[in-house]
Chains A and B, each alone.
Chain A
Amino acid sequence: NAGVMQNPRHLVRRRGQEARLRCSPMKGHSHVYWYRQLPEEGLKFMVYLQKENIIDESGMPKERFSAEFPKEGPSILRIQQVVRGDSAAYFCASSPKEGLPGNTIYFGEGSWLTVV
């Protein structure tokens, strides 16, 4: 039973380029979360999605960042015109059901973005 799959694991982009990070949730899971971990810091929530629907994007920067989770295919976190401050580890997590207290969410191994 495959876990949460993220790719690429490592991505290098020049300033001004676009970064696309992909996340396939665990089988049977229809809810996806994206978190960002800046160097030497904890994880910060970015966005929570269901299929074709953004439920909570309160942690997303207002500009350059977007996320989607289409009916078919993986969830995508897209960062346009990357800057050095976007360099971080981006973690995806998934869960099978919405909002039941104590639900375990399962994390992928992360995508490490380096902006040069």
Chain B
Amino acid sequence: GNSVTQMEGPVTLSEEAFLTINCTYTATGYPSLFWYVQYPGEGLQLLLKATKADDKGSNKGFEATYRKETTSFHLEKGSVQVSDSAVYFCALEGGGATNKLIFGTGTLLAVQP
């Protein structure tokens, strides 16, 4: 079945450092891929998405490219801020006629001033 494997955390960076959070997937076909962010005590917010191979999703300085050759959707940001500290979840659509999502386990990012 479809699954997502996500880089384990926590990831601790200094402000303005470069961020990469790895995400790889196993899927039948080419499902849409998503990154969600969860700030402490809050729900999930969509950060970005890509619906087909080679698409690049981007938002708030974050980017991720849908790579079917490597079945990956790594999240990157050139210069992180303290306010980016949160848990980041990679997800893919579970298939079938629904938009059910399958999530990775999440990666905690802590950015220090």
Contact = CB atoms under 8 A, between A and B. Distances in A.
A109 B43 contact: yes
Interface residues of B, number: 25
Contacts of B97: 98-99
The B contact surface, by secondary structure, is loop
Contacts of B51: 101-102
Interface in A25-54: 31, 33, 35, 41-45, 48
A22 B103 CA distance: 23
A31 B100 CA distance: 11
Interface in B27-44: 31-32, 36, 42-44
B43 A99 contact: no
B12 to A, nearest CB: 17
B43 A45 contact: no
A42 B105 contact: yes
Given A43-B103, A45-B94, A102 B43 contact: no
B102 interface: yes
B102 to A, nearest CB: 7
A103 B34 CA distance: 10
A56 B51 CA distance: 23
Contacts of B49: 102, 104
B94 to A, nearest CB: 7
A96 to B, nearest CB: 10
B44 A43 contact: yes
A106 B98 CA distance: 14
B102 A45 contact: yes
Nearest to B104: A42
Sorted nearest first, the 9 A-B pairs with minimum C-beta distance are: A102-B51, A99-B97, A102-B32, A109-B43, A42-B105, A107-B44, A42-B103, A107-B43, A103-B99
Interface of B: 6, 31-32, 36, 42-46, 49, 51, 89, 93-94, 96-106
5 contacts: A6-B43, A42-B106, A48-B100, A91-B43, A101-B32
